[in-house]
Amino acid sequence: MAGVNIISATISARVQIVFTIAKLVAAGIVIVVGVYNLCTGRMGSLPTDGFDASSAGYGTIALAFYSGLWSYDGIKNNQQNLRISIVLFVYFIGILLIFRLE
């Protein structure tokens, strides 16, 4: 890609567009085939019990929140909207999980 960019930035942009379209088409094919297989009942090696073996206690939820907030620690952009949306999202998911437990 660097070689194509050296030759022409316009050609490089067009090549990137072609690769992006090819990637989106491939992802779309995978999604369509997967949904078709799920609708026809061919689940292959997917577990049928879902999250039955998982543990959802208050401690694990708190740990999940802490881990989620830690992942946003590297953001140096102090925009007010980003901080508000992250906090609201974390509390919203927390309330949903707590209602799920009870």
pTM tops 0.85: no
Residue 102: pLDDT above 60?
no
Q: Is 32 helix (H, G, I), strand (E, B) or coil?
A: helix
Is residue 65 within 8 A of residue 94, CB to CB? The reply is: yes
Distance CA 73, CA 101 (A): 28
Give the per-residue pLDDT at 20: 92
Is residue 37 within 8 A of residue 43, CB to CB? The reply is: yes
pLDDT in tens, 24-41: 999 999 999 988 988 888
